[in-house]
Amino acid sequence: MKAIVTTVAALLVLGSAHASEVFVTKDAQGRPIYTDHPDTLPAQRLKVQSKSTDTAEVQKRYDDEMKGYAASSAKPAPEAIPNSAEGRKAKALTAEDKAKRCQDSRQRYDHYMTAQRLYEQAPSGGDRRYLDDKEIDAARANAKQVMDEFCAGL
């Protein structure tokens, strides 16, 4: 029984790997039709070559790519190298970015605190939906939390 199953499996594998001939014909509009059984003659036989995939080569290439990704993610960040020019530039950029975010969040908080009515714009750019008192209080608290977070170290 085991030998029969093995033989059938081997035949299926060999049968699926068999390459058939490919023909090209033209339809009434002149478009090419590729087939293994042409309906009309004349049909031109094409030489199609295929090769099987070397799984060991694919695995090796995949492992090499993963090692490259690991190596690139293991490089120290510019902030970790304070004496380098890149590290100083990154720190300056970070400080400027933090100051800008602090300023923006402070302006947003001030606007929320002084506005009598707040609204949300519909996602499709349609009508405004005005917030009720509970939603306004929640939006103000959220704006305060964001402002405190961005302005903490400044």
pLDDT in tens, 136-145: 888 899 989 8
Q: What pLDDT does residue 129 have?
A: 83
Element holding 130 (H helix, E strand): strand 128-130
Residue 82 above 80 pLDDT?
A: no
Q: Partners of 22 in the beta sheet?
A: 46
CA distance linking residue 118 with residue 135, whole number of Å: 9
Average pLDDT of the chain, as a whole number: 78
* Cα 114 from Cα 106, distance rounded (Å): 12
* Sheet of strand 32-35: strand arrangement: 32-35, 22-26, 44-46
pTM of structure? 0.40
- Are the C-beta atoms of 129 and 122 separated by less than 8 Å? yes
Instruction: Say what the pLDDT of residue 107 is.
Output: 92
Are the C-beta atoms of 33 and 27 separated by less than 8 Å?
yes
H-helix or E-strand containing 32? strand 32-35
